[in-house]
Amino acid sequence: MRELNWREYITTRLIRACGYSAIIFVGLIFIFLLREGSPALVEIPLPSLFSSRWYPIEEYFGILPLISGSIVVTIGATLVSVPLGLSTAIFIAEIAPRWAKEILKPLVEVLAGLPSVMLGFLGILVVAPFIRTATNIPTGLTAFTGALILGMMAIPTIVSVAEDALDAVPRTYREAAHALGATEWQTIWRVTLPAARSGVLTAIMLGIGRAIGETMTVMMVTGNAPVLLTGLESLFRPVRTMTATIAAEMGEVATGSVHYHTLFLIGITLFLISLIVNMAAAGVVFRQRKRAERILS
Amino acid sequence: MRRLRTASERNKLTQNIGFTGLRLAALITVVPIVLVVVYIFWQGSPAISWEFISGFPREGMRAGGILPAIVGTFWLTLGTGIIAVPLGIGAAIYLAEYAPDTNWTRAIRIAIINLAGIPSVVYGLFGLGLFVLFLQFGTSIVAGSLTLAIMTLPVIISTTEEALRAVPNSFRVVSISLGGSKWQTIRRVVIPQALPGILTGVILGLERAAGETAPILFTVAAFFLPRLPTSIFDATMALPYHLFVISTQVPGMPVQIQYGTAVVLLTFVLSMNTVAAVIRSRARARRQW
């Protein structure tokens, strides 16, 4: 009996350590990004850091073009993925017959598992030439191409989170709406969706987070030109995102150089963006859960 | 009465239009997925031969096989699993069975959500900073596996926790009333019941890891290394990185070899996906609760 207690004690401790490891990892990631990235803030004066020229070989480290590249591609991807993802989620959760669900859900899961490098590869060989001939521009490797493929890649995140949210809406809500004479469509639009609002919002935010962070596809299909974007027409020009810059240049820099530190600084920026997006998404969920608990108790 | 009928007719019409839109959107989402898979297999299967799978690259990767990349991805996936599976399942058990409802537990959950959202290339930077440089593992299978493992953790934790929570509480109550300790209950009752769900999550997590490129760019991947790794401190080629290299970095690359590599990678990923789906549907059919 004594031995049993002893073993119980050890396993409990181990399991708790596993639980807390998540916090440790986030901390470690932040510490090591800071360690390698913060020197850049000292080495490069702030005005030149926020200038519009990224040309590391001649010591130009303006990160604005990279930020604008990320923003344009992400907005484009959001415009593709949010309507498609939400509609698919609503379809699966509310109106699809059983057989359609059985086909759709695994397929969306397959999409989530498709390696980004493979979609980038197809982007280069199939999508980019198609866009070039369709729009008659000099190269198909543009922000638009990236946004299109990235939009596809963000869909699984949106679908799975939004579908969970819709599923979680109690059936009584729908039954009440039907009893009042609402059509299926009115029920979805006026009852189910508003009730699942917070989950749907989370889904959108996580989808956006996914798009900002995507690396390989973007690096392969957006043409990699670090130029500051001006207007809508720059959607059809090559751009370069923050993620792609890190991935493309880190392999060639000397450890400890200014360029190296700057790439880590971009990494810190990305880390903080994802932190904010995810905290906001989590905040919505937690708040909602609390409210639900209050109502139910 | 007449007005009423037209109103309901109008509602019906709106509904039909709306439903058609939803169906269309679902179709637009799904069709490209099928197309991608079919197209890759159609273009790439002619390149698949025994020599392609079991041979070493020759002539600057423009001929020969991709064995080192296949073996590399295999070891990386295995390494990721060895690290992430115990850690992830442990964390999930803590959250589902032990964790009190405190701010610390909430902090763990927030940390997991954040881990899931950190861009893959940032994991690459972190792996470079901590494992490759600070701990001096060099660009190696260990460094890459550790990086991929931390990236995979949130997937494994969240799916495992869900599987554990799905086990009805009465199972636990019965076990404890028979004199089982908390850990005995978890190990002999809860985990066996949740096993299919846990396995599915683990496989899906490892599938992501196997297909990732950005985290291994600076931690493991060798551009061209025509031999097999002999220790865990060796660098290695890996399938996703190899596909990236031959589709962007090597001029005059035969398209067939590119598609062939894509087919092998896709097969790797899809077979894991299928195994996960089979486990899940079998478990669902056999479940007693």
The confidence band for B61, taking pLDDT boundaries of 50, 70 and 90, is confident
Q: Decide if A228 touches B, using CB distance below 8 A.
A: no
- Please report the ipTM that was assigned to this predicted complex: 0.88
| pLDDT for the residue numbered A288 | 62
Q: Decide if B110 touches A, using CB distance below 8 A.
A: yes
Stretch A94-107: mean pLDDT = 88
Q: Decide if A23 touches B, using CB distance below 8 A.
A: yes
Statement: residue A1 has pLDDT above 60: no
- Give the CA distances from residue B23 to residues A163, B29, B78, in Å, rounded to whole numbers and listed in that order: 15, 10, 40
Q: Decide if A215 touches B, using CB distance below 8 A.
A: yes
| pLDDT for the residue numbered B288 | 66
B20 falls within a domain:
no
Asked if A115 lies within 8 A of B23 by C-beta distance, the reply is no
Q: Decide if A128 touches B, using CB distance below 8 A.
A: no
Most confident among A262-266, A293-297, B235-239, B246-250 (mean pLDDT): A262-266
List CB contacts of B84: < 8 A, sequence separation 6 or more: B148, B149, B150, B152, B153, B156, B205, B206, B209
Asked if A120 lies within 8 A of B86 by C-beta distance, the reply is no
Asked if B247 lies within 8 A of A103 by C-beta distance, the reply is no
Distance CA A213, CA A243 (A): 7
Q: Is the model more confident about A139 or about B93?
A: B93
CATH number at residue A106: 1.10.3720.10
Helix/strand/coil for A59: coil
Statement: residue A79 has pLDDT above 80: yes
pLDDT in tens, A133-153: 888 788 878 888 889 999 999
B18 falls within a domain:
no
Asked if B117 lies within 8 A of A206 by C-beta distance, the reply is yes
Asked if A274 lies within 8 A of B117 by C-beta distance, the reply is yes
A79 falls within a domain:
yes
Asked if A114 lies within 8 A of B211 by C-beta distance, the reply is yes
The confidence band for A297, taking pLDDT boundaries of 50, 70 and 90, is very low
B203 falls within a domain:
yes
Statement: residue B4 has pLDDT above 60: no
Distance CA B66, CA B37 (A): 20
* Closest residue in chain A to residue B26, using alpha carbons only: A88
B14 falls within a domain:
no
Which residues of chain A from 83 to 112 reach within 8 Å of chain B, CB to CB?
83-85, 87-88, 90-92, 95-96, 100, 103-104, 106-112
A270 falls within a domain:
yes
**Counting Cβ atoms within 10 Å, is residue A95 exposed (0-12), middle (13-18) or buried (19+)?**
middle
Stretch A5-33: mean pLDDT = 92
Alpha helices in chain A, H assignment, sequence order: 2-37, 39-43, 46-49, 64-90, 98-113, 116-122, 128-135, 143-167, 171-179, 184-186, 193-195, 197-213, 216-221, 242-249, 258-296
B23 falls within a domain:
no
B50 falls within a domain:
no
**Interchain CB contacts (distance < 8 Å): A and B:** 272
Asked if B130 lies within 8 A of A28 by C-beta distance, the reply is yes
Q: In terms of residue numbers, what domain contains B226?
A: 68-286
The confidence band for B5, taking pLDDT boundaries of 50, 70 and 90, is low
What residues in A contact B88, CB-CB < 8 Å? 18
Asked if A274 lies within 8 A of B40 by C-beta distance, the reply is no
What residues in A contact B211, CB-CB < 8 Å? 113-118
What residues in B contact A39, CB-CB < 8 Å? none
CATH number at residue B260: 1.10.3720.10
**How many domains does chain A divide into?**
1
**How many domains does chain B divide into?**
1
- Mean pLDDT of all residues in chain A? 86
Structure tokens at A153: 């890649």
**Counting Cβ atoms within 10 Å, is residue B69 exposed (0-12), middle (13-18) or buried (19+)?**
buried
Nearest to B114 among A26, A88, A250 (CB): A26
| pLDDT for the residue numbered A3 | 62
Structure tokens at A164: 């969970």
Q: Decide if B37 touches A, using CB distance below 8 A.
A: yes
pLDDT in tens, B136-192: 888 889 999 999 999 999 999 999 998 999 888 899 999 989 988 888 899 899 999
Asked if A114 lies within 8 A of B36 by C-beta distance, the reply is yes
Q: In terms of residue numbers, what domain contains A91?
A: 38-296
The answer to whether the CB of B149 falls within 8 A of the CB of B87 is yes
B39 falls within a domain:
no
Asked if A87 lies within 8 A of B211 by C-beta distance, the reply is no
- Angle subtended at Cα A211 by Cα A74 and Cα A107, rounded to the nearest 5 degrees: 130
Q: Which of B5, B16, B104, B121 to mutate to test the interface with A (most CBs of A within 10 A)?
A: B121
Q: Poorest-confidence range of B127-131, B177-181, B227-231?
A: B227-231
Asked if A185 lies within 8 A of B247 by C-beta distance, the reply is no
B10 falls within a domain:
no
